[in-house]
Structure 1
């Protein structure tokens, strides 16, 4: 009788363990454990240069594109990271969250003007 492959599990990754790989499911391979407060489907920044989408406590980690940084679960142009953090802090400090459109509008308004391109 053929064996069936291991299936993903909803069990959280052993992120608080001294050796996270000790409790890793057989299918996890090159995946990295996500922090326990990151829900499935959420993007997580493992560092300013690496990110992944968490699923069942695990994420395949990718490198951000050149000239960008991963900050608080979003990728922004390196030149915009300080503005992104300020707008995010302003938005998160509100009791009623603005719409995605409004958040995006505020972020883009806060960006410095791009230098003129000369031919």
Structure 2
């Protein structure tokens, strides 16, 4: 079974001195937890709007639409945000590779 978070190659020193980035290894777990919370919030808005339907149909309809927008918009913008974070970590990783290649070329 594939591990969700691969922590192989991380030592205690890496954790405290930022020699290696830890966040890319756990970002997927945080992303899925965010999605669960967004869907839960949207469903809470939708179901709570059913409680006020007898008082005001317009407010209940607005609550249902708001819940749907929360679920759809929240998932899309969360995905975009986490992709930007992943892109930044990939840029960092590639810059580290370039710096390592440059330092090995200078030593030769």
TM-score by length of 2: 0.29
Q: Identify which of structures 1 and 2 has the higher relative contact order when contacts are C-alpha pairs closer than 8 Å and 6+ apart.
A: 2
Larger Rg: 2
Which structure has more helix as a fraction of its residues? 2
Determine which structure has the larger strand proportion and give its number: 1
